[in-house]
Amino acid sequence: MKHAACMLLAGAVAMAAAVAVEAAPARIERAVADPQSAGITAQQRALLAEKLAIIDSMMSAAGADAKSARVSVERRRWLQESLYRMPVADLRTMALQGSPDALGAAIATAYANDMKDGLAKLGQPGTELVYYPITPCRYIDTRNLGPRPWSTPVGVRAYDLDTTGATYGGVATCDPRSVVGGVANRMGAIAINIAIVDPGFFPGFFGARPFGSTNSTSLVNWYESGATVQLSNAGIVTTTQSLTTEEIEFFGTSTHYVVDVLGVFAAPTSTPLDCVTGTLTQTAVNSTTRDYSLQASGCPTGYGIVSNSCNAIGDLAGVRQAGGGVVTAADARCIGRYEGASSATIINVPWCCRLPGR
């Protein structure tokens, strides 16, 4: 999945040969039109304007292609949003590259995996993620891989979570992907415990963060106080949801480190509604008591009525004569009129549902 997604950087222009023109996001348009109110500099405005021009050109060219009719609105929006997130330098390169057929196929694959895995939802502010615990296991142990990860006073090493611990000196059975369908990019964050062993420089520091972060990014830090120190600390590290192969990185002064995985955070799993039949209610109608309005009721605690079923027993012909017979109202009532000479019983059965969970 990642390799297909990575091809987006090399050839999003190909997909543009099969899409229609879409409107630019309003916030970018406003920033270009009124940079002062948007709080951006003239240089930033120029870059935004260039980005809009390149994207508009790519999307316009796509609109003239005969294949555009086969591309869904969702895919057009996805492609456009992907383009807006890319640096201008990448857009310049992409606008000059690519065979439409080959690159278009790569983008289509990346789109399918993106939509399936919900990557756009992970790690974003306000996004709901669910914690999936796993049996704690050894994922990284640099002591089994040779010298300390870096010999300089400060270094960085990135990790691709789309593999097992055997790749990084851990154990082969340690695989954080196992609880999210085997796809690393479904993880929005990972809960880990890190132990520092045998630092090469001291005092010093060691930290974990999303791949590609800058030093101004919020970090999870461990402090090295001496040559023989062995410190341990746990933290939750957001993973990078981007078109790269690495998700997290470790940085700091040279040291061996051991990483145990405790669990991962991912988008909630789609779960069917929990529904049951509620308590039946009924009322009698006859030649004297003809009009009826029978309210559904009797859902178990915690459930709500989402629909109801109206029926009748007895003189059904008399009920059916009432302009359509038993009718369901918007508030889950059974309403109507009995026009027969005998009697009937009107029955209302509610269908009760709740969101699954405790």
Each residue of 123-173: pLDDT tens digit?
556 667 889 999 999 999 999 999 988 877 788 999 989 889 999 999 999
> In the chain, pLDDT over 70 holds for what percent of residues?
63
Question: Is the CB of residue 54 less than 8 Å from the CB of residue 95?
Answer: yes
Omega cis (within 30) before 199:
no
For residue 71, pLDDT beyond 70: no
Both tokens of 266, joined, read 């991912």
pLDDT band at 59, cuts 50/70/90?
Answer: low
Q: Is 298 helix (H, G, I), strand (E, B) or coil?
A: coil
Is residue 122 a part of any domain in this protein?
no
Q: Taking the CA atoms of 40, 43, 47 and 52 in sequence, report the sign of the dihedral they define.
A: positive
For residues 253 and 151, membership in a common domain is answered with yes
Task: In whole angstroms, give the CA distance from residue 147 to residue 189.
Answer: 28
| pLDDT classification of 23: cutoffs 50, 70, 90 | very low
Task: Tell me: do 234 and 202 sit in the same domain.
Answer: yes
Do residues 255 and 161 both lie within one domain?
A: yes
What's the pLDDT tens digit per position in 179-201? 888 877 778 899 999 998 888 88
pLDDT category of residue 36 using cuts at 50, 70 and 90: low
Residue 151 is predicted with a pLDDT of 78
The answer to whether residues 231 and 346 belong to one domain is no
246 with 289, same domain: the answer is: no
Which of 117, 140, 170 marks a domain boundary? 117
Q: Residue 181: give the domain boundaries.
A: 130-266
Q: Do 157 and 248 sit in the same domain of this protein?
A: yes
- For residues 254 and 281, membership in a common domain is answered with no
Contact 325, 258 (CB under 8 A): no
Are 112 and 219 in the same domain?
no
CA dist 82 and 245 (Å) reads 17
**Last residue of a domain, which of 266, 284, 307?**
266
Name the domain boundary from 266, 296, 320.
Answer: 266
Tell whether 124 is covered by a domain.
no
Residue 2: is its pLDDT beyond 50? no
Rounded Cα–Cα distance for residues 62 and 65 (Å): 5
Q: Which of 4-18, 31-45, 271-285 has the lowest mean pLDDT?
A: 4-18
Do 149 and 209 sit in the same domain of this protein? yes
Phi, psi of 78 (to 5 degrees): -60, -45
Please, what's the b/e burial string for 245-278 (b: 16 or more CB within 10 A of its CB; e: otherwise)?
bbbbbbbbbbbbbbbbbbbbbbbeeeeeeeeeeb
On the question of pLDDT at 325 being above 50, the answer is yes
What is the distance between the alpha carbons of residues 140 and 346, in angstroms, rounded to a whole number?
68
Q: Which has the minimum average pLDDT: 77-86, 87-96, 143-152?
A: 77-86
Residue with tokens 């509604």: 273
Helices (H), 189-295: none
| Counted domains in the chain | 3
Distance CA 187, CA 205 (A): 26
Residue 177 lies in a domain: yes
pLDDT higher at 10 or 261: 261
User: What are the beta bridge partners of residue 358?
Assistant: none
In a domain, residue 125? The reply is no
With cut-offs at 50, 70 and 90, classify the pLDDT of residue 319.
Answer: confident
Q: What is the mean pLDDT of residues 65-94?
A: 56
CB atoms under 10 Å from CB of 225, counted, come to 12
Q: Which of 71-80, 287-296, 327-336 has the lowest mean pLDDT?
A: 71-80
